[in-house]
Amino acid sequence: QVQLQQSGAELAKPGSSVKISCKASGYTFTSYYISWIKQTTGQGLEYIGYINTGSGGTNYNEKFKGKATLTVDKSSSTAFMQLSSLTPDDSAVYYCARVNYDYFDYWGQGVMVTVSS
Amino acid sequence: DIQMTQSPASLSASLGETVTIECRASEDIYSNLAWYQQKPGNSPQLLIYDANSLADGVPSRFSGSGSGTQYSLKISSMQTEDEGVYFCQQGLKYPYTFGAGTKLELK
């Protein structure tokens, strides 16, 4: 069965970076893009961008350019998202999701990132 | 960016009641619309894609309809397990955007 297993919760200081992972199983990893989505109570669900798991090509929401960097390791079927120059506004739950055409058919369990001094 | 406006923000329904949630796009999205259900502490789960196609394993009491800028999700007979938050999402243009969500509770 398709599974996206994300890494654990992160507590980070303002100005630092975090890198969270999303390990896929149960399907051919390079056949589907992976997207990342931010969820906060105030802003709801926000699309960050996607990575082409075959080529490594990326597309970012303008709002997250310079904030998020998406990478992939095909050998381990894992996608990564690094968040840099963290501020309290980056505190959120971050999901990876498998892209099927123009929708998200499988989601990871989410990673809570808390930015606090 | 395409704005997605959901209504109502919250509602409560009795067991067996029919529930309808609306989603309006700021421009024509040509049925590139998905619906998701999120239960507390869980990630969103796909219910409907392409405006009216039922995702695998989703009960047939869920259905989607609409075109152009107006879409709706219908639950034909409210069940206890249908409590949660429902989101719409447009997939026509990047960045993909979501509605703010509709919280559905059992009355």
The pair of three-digit structure tokens given for residue A72, joined into one six-digit string = 């992939």
Q: Which residue of A has its CA nearest to B40?
A: A109
Q: How far apart are CA B107 and CA A35, in angstroms?
A: 36
- Taking contacts as CB-CB distances below 8 angstroms, the residues of chain A near B50 are 103
Sign of CA dihedral A93, A96, A97, A101: positive
The pair of three-digit structure tokens given for residue B12, joined into one six-digit string = 């409560």
The pair of three-digit structure tokens given for residue B63, joined into one six-digit string = 């259905």
Tens of pLDDT, residue by residue, chain A (117 residues): 999 999 999 999 999 999 999 999 999 999 999 999 999 987 799 999 999 999 999 999 999 999 999 999 999 999 999 999 999 999 999 999 999 999 999 999 999 999 999
DSSP state of B55: P
The pair of three-digit structure tokens given for residue A113, joined into one six-digit string = 């990132």
Please, which pLDDT band fits residue B51 given cuts at 50, 70 and 90? very high
Please indicate whether, in this complex, the C-beta atoms of B87 and A100 are within 8 angstroms of each other. Answer: no
Cβ atoms of B4 and A47 closer than 8 Å: no
Interface check for A27 against chain B (CB to CB < 8 A): the answer is no
Cβ atoms of B61 and B19 closer than 8 Å: no
- Cite the beta strand spans of chain B per DSSP E: 4-7, 10-13, 19-25, 33-38, 45-49, 53-54, 62-67, 70-75, 84-90, 97-98, 102-106
Cβ atoms of B85 and B105 closer than 8 Å: no
Which one of A94, A102, A106, A107 would you mutate to disrupt binding with B, by most B Cβ within 10 Å of its Cβ? A102
